[in-house]
Chain A
């Protein structure tokens, strides 16, 4: 099994999409944080009780822009399966390992590992941004590191689960475009819609479950319950962090297993 996982990591390492994803994780977090920190009135969240610059809550808000890594891990997970079908490398893959469940399991571990790398890239960018802000006189280092310690673990955990969730989506859909549209469309459009109309269901959806997980860390922002700035917009009452983690884990595993039993078992012609 470890060989299969290593082979998946070789595959990831040797395509440009992986590197583009890592670069975006950094390239988005840096300016994103600045935008949120300094231009709140231009980004649609002006109705939030905006925290004072330099406070822990402000750093929480600034650093939470690194949660773009969730969607990036989702994309990476989707590509890991659908790329094989798109480029027909699934034939050599199933030739070296005809027990397809084992291939799926290896991809699961590799996706989780790659998601850690994506989250770390976002985290490093967040830290750089934080140090930059401190160095330029926007708050002190203790508040910044405190906020980072809040935000990052939740993001890391949620990103790993999103990578597996993406893999599962890819495994049941097989078609790259369809899986990307579904995965990103769900998190950008469908889930917020459901969340605002049927919150009882909506708060269990992947994106909202992930927010619950992230907001373990970002409590400070709205006080009481509530998480990142997106939660502030929807005003959704989130599930607890461990419920969110469990829900995401179930999405990922159920999709990966369902894919292994259906799509991945079909004839490769």
Chain B
């Protein structure tokens, strides 16, 4: 059975700790999502798995061995990477032919994978004239050239149109259903939620969550948010605590919102009516991957890692200075 094992993987770029003591395993038969905010260390981790970046410490094993010790890398592992390139003057077919030659793969497979990703018609055209989505498809064709057992993808949906994204979802699912390993990083949480079975969540280079997505969402769904007028907030907090909700789980989110963790709307609503508290809005934690993601990676943006960088510290557009 193919698998991936990361053990204590650590990588520092100068003063930036990109990946810190990261350990997890990825098994076959499911699509595993690798999620985290910008700069979390996803790309660095995937490149360490593939021997492109050397870790400061720790090991990454694919089918039990480091990437460089696999008998035939192209046949064992396929990778779609962001900053991977093409010679603009070379055609897609020739690009793949060079790799097939190096890996001892029959050239008929080149046309097979080009057809699989829908590039047959432009296979002999210079890659320099390809659109971003076409390049991404070519990158995917390259990844599956050796009919690998393990697929590692960094933001594969980048540059794809909605049909392309739906297509890749199907593609990853059918690949995993053959009992193979799929590890896919993504920014598109809504998309990931539809595609992945397991998630590994990374923030600031640290593992912050891992498990079956459905189970994690169930747990996360148990958060209720209540919006009230400001003057009702104190009463609401007291009423909830009196009703037996653990004080640690009942919190003031901001001046007008109270959150109750580990509760359902069905349990919270009677307390509100019994006390005659005015409420504008009540939502339950949604069970969305987005909610889960924000909860787990809260305050873990680049700002903590790179001094002076704080994405979205003030949400919204900032106008240029006054003249």
Contact = CB atoms under 8 A, between A and B. Distances in A.
A47 interface: no
A43 interface: no
Interface string A96-117: 1111000000000000000000
Given A10-B94, A98-B67, A98-B73, A88 B101 contact: no
A95 B50 contact: yes
Contacts of A268: 47, 52-53
Contact of A89 (B43, B50, B85): B85
Interface stretch (B76-84, B166-174, B274-282): B76-84
Nearest to A13: B94
A174 to B, nearest CB: 14
A154 B52 CA distance: 41
B297 interface: no
A91 B74 contact: no
Interface in A239-269: 267-269
A97 B67 CA distance: 10
Q: Describe A's contact surface by its main secondary structure.
A: helix
Contacts of B85: 87-92
A30 to B, nearest CB: 26
A88 B98 contact: no
B206 interface: no
Contacts of A83: 87
Given A95-B79, A267-B54, A3 B101 contact: yes
Interface of A: 3-4, 6-7, 10-11, 14-17, 83, 87-99, 267-269
20 contacts: A3-B102, A6-B102, A10-B97, A11-B98, A14-B94, A14-B95, A15-B87, A87-B87, A89-B87, A91-B83, A94-B51, A95-B52, A95-B79, A96-B73, A96-B74, A97-B73, A98-B67, A267-B47, A268-B52, A268-B53
Interface of B: 43-44, 47, 50-54, 67-68, 73-74, 79, 81, 83-91, 94-95, 97-99, 101-104, 142
